[in-house]
Structure 1
Amino acid sequence: MFDVAAELRGGVKGPRHAWDFLRAFAAEWVGVPVAAGHGSPAEDLDAAEQELGFVLPSALREGFLLLGSRDDLTRNQDPLLQPTGLFVEDGVLVFRRENQDCAWWGISLDEVEQDDPPVVVQSPDGCIPFLDRMSTAWVELVLSETLFADAAPGRGLHDACELPSSSLPALEAAFTRVDVPDYPMWVGPDDSPVRWYAGPGCLLRRDGLEDLSWLYVRGCTDEATEGIRRTVPGRWERGS
């Protein structure tokens, strides 16, 4: 089974590595390979640049061209905007919004000329650093949106539990930390940092501090999800 932690050992090394990972993830983990027509139309991106008055960072544009029309990978929880929906707010080019419009993700206009610029997120404390490169933010976006997707029958339901500190050893013994940097959850410090774990066919995200955290999980099959529940003790929302 596809192992996200193994595939990302050493972190996201740049846009080319991100695109290779996302192609493999879509094919092997989601079961639907990236194909022609799965990206946003180039003319929509051209129109967005014309409307905005500047050229999009290459890592942002290339990601749209690769999978901007794959709603299953990009628009389940906190959706990627359509190219023609990109906008500027408070000096930030916004490309993704929280599902209830409580927050957004974007690129500072001061850094928009970089090929692979850092990403910021809106929070109650204002705009704060999110991830240091857009290519890494694409990987995070797809992992998060896949985690909360409504899977096809047999492809693994997502689940969640409030994670007691006593269950942390079981989590860390059974699953491997994914080499994505810690990053903040937009709602605030109590739900930060966000950390990813994985195993073959298993994807897990822990939000929050050691004594107060939530664990969100999904297996690529129903059996894999059930295996996570058995391995990590907790009050699971959908099972035990």
Structure 2
Amino acid sequence: MVAAMTHEFDLVRSLAAGAEDRHAAWDFVRGFAEHWTAAPLDTGGCPEAEVAAAEERLGLRLPPALREAYTLLGGREDLTSNHDTLRALAELYVDEAGEALVFRDENQGAARWGILLRDLALDDPPVLVRPDLADKNAERWEGWLERTSLAFLEIVLSEAAQAPTGPVDYLDAPDDEVLERLERDATRLPFPLYPAEDPCIRWFLYRDVLLRDDAGSWIHARGRTAEALDGIRDVLAGDWLEG
């Protein structure tokens, strides 16, 4: 197995800590932004006044983890909204059934993510997903990740891996040999399988390339550099869309 260190930022160790503790999750986000993107998190969060205004408009108090996520990341679309969209504070809403506070939308409207109103009193509540179905009676809020801070780790990783520009690529329909090599040679990242009710997404690190395996149907790749991304195309041979 290859070494999983990325210079002074240890992605694996930092992610492991963040997956267990919400404050460590924000430390991971800061480290990832500094070492894997062009812009550290010196700015980009929402002011506390905007959070307070959203709470007053909604008539409810945001959980601490969601408040912290917005004050850290609320203005950083490059880390939150490349593919799916993190709603602005002014666009947060309670769903039609009065069940959940919605804060994120799938890019084609196929799903939305939220926190059940009954869980808003928790410091770091579960995040659920609701698919947009033709049969509205069949829709329900389904498990996604067990804590809000975990969900924002997922958002940052997934949106970085699906950026419109930069060292990103997509491997379509990897064969069994590619998947076996991924499991053998890359480092499995310490992040839980998800969604909660149908776990299928796994994260890996190969040298300086972040890899998301979507149940063997796709592999998303984000290199820390273009050279690192070139290297993974040789290791995992297949139909890379950009390569």
* TM-score of the superposed pair, with normalisation by structure 1: 0.88
The answer for unaligned runs of 5 or more in structure 2 is: 1-5, 134-138
Deviation sequence 1:39-75 (CA, Å, 0-9, x none): 0122221111011111000000011001211111111
Name the structure 2 match of 1:95: 103
Q: Partner residue of 1:214?
A: 218
- Asked if the contact 1:164–1:213 (Cα under 8 Å) also holds between the matched residues in 2, the reply is no
SS for the counterpart of 1:9 is helix
Counterpart code for 2:165: A
State the SS of the aligned residue for 2:27: helix
Structure 2 CA distance for partners of 1:11 and 1:193, relative to 1, 3 Å = farther
* Partners of 2:58 and 2:93 within 8 A in 1: yes
Q: Out of 166, 169, 183, which is 2:180 matched to?
A: 169
- Give the paired residue count: 228
After the TM superposition, which of the residue ranges 40-49 and 110-119 deviates more from structure 2? 40-49
Match of 1:178 among 169, 186, 189: 189
Give deviations 1:120-160, integer Å, cap 9, x for gaps. 011255321000000111100001111111335xxx13333
Give the C-alpha shift of residue 6 in structure 1. 3.6
Aligned pair partner of 1:21 in 24, 28, 43:
28
5+ residue gaps, structure 1, are none
Moved over 6 A (4+): none
Give the CA deviation at 1:3: 5.0
What percent of counterpart residues are identical? 41
Q: Name the SS for the 1:163 alignment partner.
A: coil
RMSD (CA atoms): 1.9
1:17 partner amino acid: A
Counterpart of 2:136? none
1:107 and 2:108 matched: no
Do structure 1's residue 225 and structure 2's residue 229 form an aligned pair? yes
Contact 2:55 2:62 in 1 (8 A): yes
